[in-house]
Chains A and B, each alone.
Chain A
Amino acid sequence: METYVILRREGWRTAEELREAAARSATEEGRVPDDVRWIRSYVIAEPAGGLGTLCVYQASSPEAIRRHAFAAGLPVDEIVQVADTMVVRPDPVPAAA
């Protein structure tokens, strides 16, 4: 398993859509624990309106990430492999759940 950062730009129009997507993502990820593990996501307010996310996943391959995305109905714009993690401070507390 490697760690990857996934960019999903302009994937959703509303927070509600994003929440539904998150639920689907969790369900699909649960089916294939050896393939993908969702670590965390950062939500992006897109300049053109709408929402995107930057997600951190562990996965067995980039193809596993794409398979999961297809099953859950999520866009995949870019996948970047993470070589190492440097945590300087903990994540800011989210404003809302």
Chain B
Amino acid sequence: MIVAVHPAAERLLERDGPLAHLRAALADAGAGCGRVVLVTGEAGIGKTALLRQLCAQEPACMPALWGCCEALFTPRPLGPLIDVAFATGAPVANAVERGTPHEIARALLVELGQRAPGVLVLDDVHWADEATLDVVRLIGRRIEEAAALVVVVYRDDELHRSHPLRIVLGELARRPGVTRLKLEPLSPDAVAALAEPYGADPVELFRITEGNPFFVTEALAARGTSLPETVRDAVLARAAHLREPARALLDAIAVVPQPVELSLLETVAGETDEELEECLGSGILVAQPRAVAFRHELARRAIESAQPPDLNLRLHRAMLTALAASPAGEADPARLAHHAEQAGDAEAVQLYAPRAAEAAAARGAHREAAAQYARAVRFADALPSEQLARLLERRSFECYLTDQFEQAIEAQRRAVEVYRELGDVRSQGAALCSYAKRVWCAGNTAGATQACWDAIELLGRLPRGRELAQAYGVASSMCMNDEDAEGTVAWGTRAIALAEELGDAEALLYTLNNVGTMQLLRGERAGIEALDRSLRLAEEAGLEDHVGRAYIHFAWVLARNRDYALEDRLRAGLDYCSEHGLDLWWLYLQTYRARSLLDRGRWDEGADLLEMVLGNPRDAVLLRTLALAGLGLLRARRGDPGAAEPLDDARRLATAAGELSATFAVALALAETAWLSGRQETVATATEHAYRLALDKHAAWVAGELACWRRRAGLDDEAPAGAAEPFALELAGRWEDAALRWSTLGCPYDAALALAGSGDVQSLRRARDELLRLGARPAAAIVSRRLRHRGVKGLRRGPLAATRANQGLTARELEVLRLVAEGLQNGDIARRLFLSPRTVDHHVSAILRKLDAKTRGQASATAARLGLLEHR
């Protein structure tokens, strides 16, 4: 799509810095280091104009691939990429038509790589559908491998708190090779320069426009006696200069939030060549291949908003009719649904919105699907109740997939009501099961359990069917979350038997998941088979949320049981959830991964993940609780400030929800932080409730860890039977064995804490060294005190030992040194670590100096000899 540049916008003021930034990124891309630049700023700030300028000045990147997102309330899935595919042809077009986001991203990067450097611009991404966002995220992850520059343009003022683009930006911003470019409004001087040829008052102009370039050009082009007060006024004033027929044509075009195909225009407005010419000449519209569009969305909105309601209605109706009859419309129920709603045509909405929803869901654009179902529900007055209930259930499901939990619960609740009024007990029971699941996700365990029992009671009155198998499955799931093994198995057995009898794959795999997870939580590794089988069945059936749930449970077990052999499943889960747009599931996996990194001593990595998770506001209570507890604990372990607030928040959330794993996580975090800060006396009360629960549920790892904290805090409890091995060893006073076990598991902090319980000076020294190496200041201080009590003097400060041990090399220098030892040249090192080649040269000089080496070879040899090449 090539948009003509308006004459007034040719000269871009105060954009040299941003242009230089983009040129540098382009140069990097040309050298084989792919870059993503996130260009942002308010509406009308000139983001698109900037990129046009870049393409015009840099012939190397022509022709760039452009994809624009539409200002539709419910955009077409993959809209901008369909545009791009049109320009590239196969294989990108094939991928976009049939492939997963993974495949689309790969095809795009290959295509871009062939143009070296390839440039892809995605415009107005704040309006992007979910499927497009998935592709953007995947491109961001692989950009370093491609000789490509991808520019993502969006309005930061359109991003509300839980906008889906935020999660993508959050992830992208942390990746190497991704930079952010924010465009600022024009200065008063620039505005004055623009105003001069028109003889307009620069001060007044700046006051009204606040330096917004679009507003400035519109205001100047309005050519009125006084300056317009708003953008809307400016646009309307410019449009007022058009003759009546052209103005009417402008109105017809204004109701379409995307470029209007010329063929479509002919159907709606007849022969309008002259009027079109006039509109194009005025600069309000711009020409595109076989279509016309407004120069800027702001202008379109201004024109549409000025239309009297009956005119607007008529125009939408006309557009709806024309579109329905055209090939463009056939392919695009989303467009039709939009016009149908604006035209107030309930029948048309019922015809197109559900279709649009299904199409969106099939492409993984679940937000759009949810919105389309909502639209259908809004226009459902004349709809038979049963159809309404089904729409509500679909909406609830899509909302659940996009973690809009409140909306999901409300829609499902209404569905249950409708079935009840209809007297359709079977459907009501099934809907109650879904309701139970939704409500549980929102943290209301009591409500969920109640709904589940209600469903079983209702369905029990009828001949046994799939719905009852589902209900038994949900019951087993409630028990599993409560870590009630007997209950899980009891309900699970019933569910599996009935499911197998009826051939209901979904109920079967759902229950296998619950049973397998429960087994794993109890330490029975055979549970892996059941969970794997559930995963496979779900993948085969394409039941994405069930697949996601299976992966989450693997992650839960990995973190809980310190079973890092399950890591490959965690990674597979992250890939799957990423590809299928399961954002919330992906965040859960990252949270469990962060906890496991914390346990394995990789604190920086864990911290980054937790910050990312917490930076994405989500309704999912459990997710938030786990992440907050993790962050608070990490800060407490390091002795960093800001440990108290996240832990307090976590405690409040856990208490309110009453959910078991949250209760455990919080109790453990509170116990440790109390011990670290010397407030032993609070450990008893902080852990009492959770400890009883853990013993009750035979939660070996939790009970063991809580017992250890209580022991370390000086409480004289009896050691619980069945505590997980490393804890049991410590409780039995076998500190060395415990430490060894922890080391084998890969948990250095726990190993050090175990050793710290020993009375032996050597062990205490080792514990202290390890704690200092990890950066665990408070724990190290506690161990130092114990050493001093035993008469040990002259304890060296940690960092000195560490730095000297590394020959004074910094962390960054060590990274570079390792790559030097692998034989990489500076250019490759720069690419690998995302530094400039000059910085790498700098580091290499410093390394040679500190190691007293003359060549890289000598440095590598010295490093190997000193053991600097081993990773921590």
* Also in contact, A62 and B811, with CB within 8 A (given A11-B803, A20-B846): no
Interface flag for B813 (CB, 8 Å): yes
Binds A, one of B71-79, B329-337, B603-611, B709-717: B603-611
Which B residues touch A76, using CB under 8 A?
A: 775
Instruction: Among A21, A73, A75, A76, find the residue whose CB has the most chain B CB atoms closer than 10 A.
Output: A73
Q: For chain A, which range describes its interface: under 10, 10 to 19, 20 to 34, or 35 or more residues?
A: 20 to 34
- The A-contacting residues of B in range 576-609, CB under 8 angstroms, are 604, 607-608
Which residue of chain B has the shortest Cβ distance to A46 in the bound complex?
B800
Q: How far is the CB of B436 from chain A (nearest CB, A)?
A: 38
The smallest C-beta distance from A77 to any residue of chain B, in angstroms, reads: 6
Q: How far is the CB of A20 from chain B (nearest CB, A)?
A: 7
Q: Which of B641, B811, B846 contacts A70 (CB 8 A)?
A: B811
B635 proximal to A (CB < 8 A): yes
Given contacts A61-B611, A63-B611, A77-B798, 19 further A-B contacts (CB under 8 A): A2-B641, A9-B797, A9-B799, A10-B797, A10-B803, A11-B799, A20-B842, A62-B635, A62-B641, A67-B608, A71-B812, A73-B812, A75-B799, A78-B639, A78-B777, A79-B638, A79-B639, A81-B641, A81-B642
Of B611, B640, B642, B800, the residue contacting A48 (CB under 8 A) is: B800
Which residues does chain B contribute within 8 Å of A17, judged by CB atoms? 808
Q: Is the CB of B604 within 8 A of A66?
A: yes
Interfacial chain B residues near A63, Cβ < 8 Å: 607-608, 611
Tell yes or no: B272 within 8 A of A by CB.
no
What mask results when residues 826 to 843 of chain B are scored 1 for a CB within 8 Å of chain A, else 0? 000000000000010010
A-B contacts, 25 of them at CB < 8 A, read A2-B642, A4-B641, A9-B799, A10-B797, A10-B799, A10-B800, A11-B799, A13-B808, A20-B842, A20-B846, A62-B635, A62-B638, A62-B642, A63-B611, A67-B604, A70-B811, A72-B812, A73-B812, A75-B803, A76-B775, A77-B777, A78-B639, A79-B638, A81-B641, A81-B642
Enumerate chain A residues within 8 angstroms of B777, measured Cβ to Cβ.
77-78
Query: Is B114 in the interface zone, CB < 8 Å from A?
Result: no
The 9 closest A-B pairs by CB, nearest first: A73-B810, A81-B641, A62-B640, A73-B812, A63-B607, A10-B800, A79-B640, A75-B799, A70-B811
The residues of B that contact A74 with a CB separation of less than 8 Å are 810
Residues on A with C-beta less than 8 A from B642 are 2, 61-62, 81
| Docked-complex contact B641 and A79, CB < 8 angstroms | yes
Q: In the complex, A56→B498 CA distance in Å?
A: 66
Interface pair B641/A80, CB less than 8 Å apart: yes
Q: How far is the CA of A73 from the CA of B842 in the complex (A)?
A: 13
CB distance from B640 to the nearest CB of A (A): 4
Contact A70 B812 (CB under 8 A): yes
Closest CB of chain B to A27's CB: distance in Å? 8
A-side interface residues toward B, CB under 8 Å? 2, 4, 9-11, 13, 17, 20-21, 24, 27, 48, 61-63, 66-67, 70-81
B residues with CB within 8 A of A:
604, 607-608, 611, 635, 638-642, 775, 777, 797-800, 803, 808, 810-813, 839, 842, 846
Question: Which residues of chain B are near A75, meaning CB under 8 Å?
Answer: 799, 803
A12 (CB) vs chain B CBs: closest residue: B808
- Chain A residues whose C-beta falls within 8 Å of the C-beta of B640 in the assembled complex: 62, 79
- With a cutoff of 8 Å between Cβ atoms, the chain B residues found around residue A24 in the complex are 812
In the complex, what residues of B have CB within 8 A of residue A20's CB?
Answer: 842, 846
CA distance A79 to B639 in the complex (A): 8
Complex-state Cα separation, A10 to B800, whole angstroms: 6
Q: List A contacts of B842 (CB < 8 A).
A: 20
Assembled-state Cα–Cα distance A10/B801 (Å): 10
Closest to B603 in A: A66
Task: Evaluate contact between A73 and B811: CB separation under 8 angstroms.
Answer: yes
Instruction: Give the distance in Å from the alpha carbon of A63 to the alpha carbon of B797 in the complex.
Output: 23
Nearest-CB residue, chain A, relative to B834: A71
Q: Which residue of B has the minimal Cβ distance to A49? A: B800
Q: Are A66 and B811 in contact (CB under 8 A)?
A: no
- Quote the shortest CB–CB distance from B36 to chain A (angstroms): 15
In the complex formed, the residue of B with least CB distance to A50 is B800
Cβ-closest chain A residue relative to B846: A20
> Which of A62, A63, A74 has its CB near the most chain B CB atoms (within 10 A)?
A63
A24→B800 CA distance, assembly (Å): 21
With a cutoff of 8 Å between Cβ atoms, the chain A residues found around residue B641 in the complex are 2, 4, 62, 79-81
Query: Nearest Cβ in chain A — how far from B847, in angstroms?
Result: 11
Query: Measured between alpha carbons, how far is A72 from B811 in the docked complex, in Å?
Result: 9
